[in-house]
């Protein structure tokens, strides 16, 4: 019997998230927030495209309360070596903002119900409640030495609220909601595991030229009961027609010397790597809401941002957990070594450097599917400009629809030689399932 890529042991249980103590709502001098575009590269530490600081740019879509706090959260909670996963922290910040607004003036159901220690709203300012909730989560998830921006943004909100009673009530209510949001995640950061390495055919091992491994977080999903909730079919076995077709496609289109890949396809592949799709798709959402203001104002904006951020957090959980579970080899390994029915080609190399983690499912495909399906479910399809904030010069691509971006991004993973077709299809399945679940949350109060 031909060797097959066997899945690893059942997924290990998640460790619950948490914070250590509620941040005090101190004051500081006023400051301004601006978009921090972050450069990303394949992480030698945490799996995925880890953000790195880059110069600020002006962005009108980030001038809203939601946008400003997302900038601060991205800056303070986005360290690739932080104990807490970036996506999880961003999700908690947006959920706290949503819950803060809807505790002060209820319009939508909340992510977390009111608990016994939450004070009554007592005329709390919605804007102060939002800011205090966001501040509590951001400072609870980041290094105290970096809290100046968060305190400055909170101060700016307080200064804009003339009623002292509304400020006081908003501070108390927001702090309670932020504390509850953090507490709902558990007492410690998630445990981390390096991806398993194998010598068997079909199994993952670090790929050339770097030969590096990375780790992933054993986080619990926010929308689903367990980390195996979306576990799908395994990748094709090495003796299957599906695998042979996948290898032939990636070998033909994804190699450095491919004559079948067009120049445009090569440029597209380079555009999509490296970057952080969740950050850039959040900007797509914020820009659309700015261009076409929503009837519910900041309540609608907070709800939509929290749905998208929550969905992206779960995409990280499922994708990297399943990569470890299936531990499938990358195209460069499968093509270099060969297998029954696949001619070894030890000099074949992918167009772009292979990521430092297993192949199946595709993280790019899951992220772009999650983002495009969520935004389409919230706002419908529309033409848009996608900007890669992490790339030098922050290049853009124009798309006639969200679906078009989804298709291009997935295809680019084959054109660059990083993935097989089935990994892209599975990533898209996971992303769509997450989006469907996320869109059903925090509905309007009847």
Among candidates 145, 138, 28, which has minimal Cα distance to 88?
A: 138
pLDDT of res. 327: 98
Is residue 165 located within the same domain as residue 225? no
Q: pTM here?
A: 0.90
Is residue 264, in this structure, part of any structural domain at all? yes
Is residue 202 located within the same domain as residue 326? yes
Is residue 219 located within the same domain as residue 361? yes
Is residue 10, in this structure, part of any structural domain at all? no
Is residue 207 located within the same domain as residue 240? yes
The residue among 183, 212, 242 that closes a domain is 183
Q: How confident is the prediction along the chain (446 residues), in pLDDT tens digits per residue? A: 344 444 544 455 554 332 222 233 333 222 222 222 222 233 445 776 555 544 355 788 999 999 999 999 999 998 777 889 999 999 999 999 999 999 999 999 999 999 999 999 999 999 999 999 999 999 999 989 889 999 999 999 999 999 999 999 999 999 999 999 999 998 899 999 999 999 999 999 999 888 999 999 999 999 999 999 999 999 999 999 999 999 999 999 999 999 999 999 999 999 999 889 999 999 999 999 999 999 999 999 999 999 999 999 999 999 999 999 999 999 999 999 999 999 999 999 999 999 999 999 999 999 999 999 999 999 999 999 999 988 888 899 999 999 999 999 999 999 999 999 999 999 999 999 999 999 999 999 98
Is residue 312 located within the same domain as residue 270? yes
H helix intervals, 161-240: 164-183
Note down the domain range covering 370: 195-439
The residue among 137, 156, 183 that closes a domain is 183
Instruction: Find out whether 139 and 150 touch, Cβ atoms under 8 Å.
Output: yes
Is residue 345 located within the same domain as residue 287? yes
Is residue 131 located within the same domain as residue 208? no
What CA–CA distances, in Å, run from 329 to 198, 206, 257, 356, 360? 9, 9, 21, 11, 8
Is residue 349, in this structure, part of any structural domain at all? yes
Is residue 93 located within the same domain as residue 70? yes
Is residue 140 located within the same domain as residue 258? no
Sign of the CA dihedral running 142, 146, 152, 155:
positive
Cα–Cα distance between 50 and 284 in angstroms, integer? 20
Is residue 216 located within the same domain as residue 299? yes
Cβ-defined contacts of 60-63 (< 8 Å, 24+) = 60/290, 61/283, 61/286, 61/287, 61/289, 61/290, 62/33, 62/34, 62/35, 62/283, 62/286
Is residue 199 located within the same domain as residue 178? no
Cα–Cα distance between 235 and 201 in angstroms, integer? 13
- CATH number at 128 reads 1.20.144.10
Is residue 265, in this structure, part of any structural domain at all? yes
Is residue 125, in this structure, part of any structural domain at all? yes
Is residue 272 located within the same domain as residue 330? yes
Cα–Cα distance between 222 and 302 in angstroms, integer? 17
Is residue 322, in this structure, part of any structural domain at all? yes
Is residue 92, in this structure, part of any structural domain at all? yes
- Give the total number of structural domains in the chain: 2
The residue among 148, 183, 218 that closes a domain is 183
pLDDT of res. 55: 39
DSSP string spanning 370-422? HHHHHHHHHH----EEEE-TTSTT--EEEESSHHHHHHHHHHHHHHTTS--HH
- CATH number at 435 reads 1.10.606.20
Is residue 104, in this structure, part of any structural domain at all? yes
């Amino acid at each position: 019997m031909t060797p097959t890529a066997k899945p690893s042991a059942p997924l290990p249980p998640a460790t619950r998230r948490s914070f250590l103590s509620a941040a005090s709502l101190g004051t500081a001098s006023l400051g301004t927030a601006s978009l921090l575009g972050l450069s990303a590269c394949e992480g030698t530490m945490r799996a995925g495209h880890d953000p790195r600081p880059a110069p600020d740019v002006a962005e009108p879509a980030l001038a809203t309360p939601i946008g400003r706090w997302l900038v601060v959260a991205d800056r303070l909670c986005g360290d690739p070596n932080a104990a807490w996963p970036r996506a999880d922290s961003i999700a908690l910040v947006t959920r706290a903002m949503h819950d803060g607004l809807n505790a002060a003036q209820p319009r939508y159901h909340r992510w977390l119900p009111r608990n016994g220690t939450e004070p009554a709203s007592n005329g709390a300012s919605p804007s102060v409640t939002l800011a205090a909730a966001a501040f509590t989560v951001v400072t609870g998830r980041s290094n105290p030495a970096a809290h100046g921006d968060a305190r400055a943004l909170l101060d700016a909100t307080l200064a804009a609220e003339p009623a002292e009673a509304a400020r006081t009530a908003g501070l108390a209510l927001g702090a309670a909601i932020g504390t509850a949001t953090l507490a709902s995640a558990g007492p410690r950061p998630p445990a981390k595991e390096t991806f398993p390495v194998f010598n068997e055919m079909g199994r993952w091992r670090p790929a050339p030229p770097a030969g590096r491994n990375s780790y992933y977080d054993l986080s619990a999903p926010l929308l689903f009961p367990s980390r195996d909730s979306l576990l799908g079919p395994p990748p094709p076995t090495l003796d299957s027609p599906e695998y042979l077709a996948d290898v032939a496609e990636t070998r033909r289109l994804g190699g450095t010397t491919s004559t079948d890949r067009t120049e445009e396809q090569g440029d597209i592949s380079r555009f999509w790597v490296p970057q952080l799709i969740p950050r850039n798709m959040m900007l797509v959402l914020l820009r659309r809401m700015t261009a076409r203001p929503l009837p519910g104002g900041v309540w609608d904006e907070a709800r939509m941002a929290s749905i998208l951020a929550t969905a992206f957090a779960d995409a990280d959980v499922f994708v990297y957990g399943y990569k470890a579970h299936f531990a499938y080899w990358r195209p460069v390994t499968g093509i270099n070594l060969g297998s029954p029915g696949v001619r070894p080609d030890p000099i074949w190399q992918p167009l772009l450097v292979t990521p430092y983690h297993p192949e199946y499912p595709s993280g790019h495909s899951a992220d772009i599917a999650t983002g495009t399906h969520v935004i389409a479910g919230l706002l419908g399809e529309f033409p848009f400009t996608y900007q890669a904030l992490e790339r030098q010069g922050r290049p853009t691509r124009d798309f006639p629809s969200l679906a078009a971006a989804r298709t291009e991004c997935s295809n680019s993973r084959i054109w660059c030689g990083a993935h097989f077709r089935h990994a892209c299809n599975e990533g898209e399945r996971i992303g769509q399932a997450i989006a469907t679940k996320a869109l059903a949350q925090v509905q309007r109060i009847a």
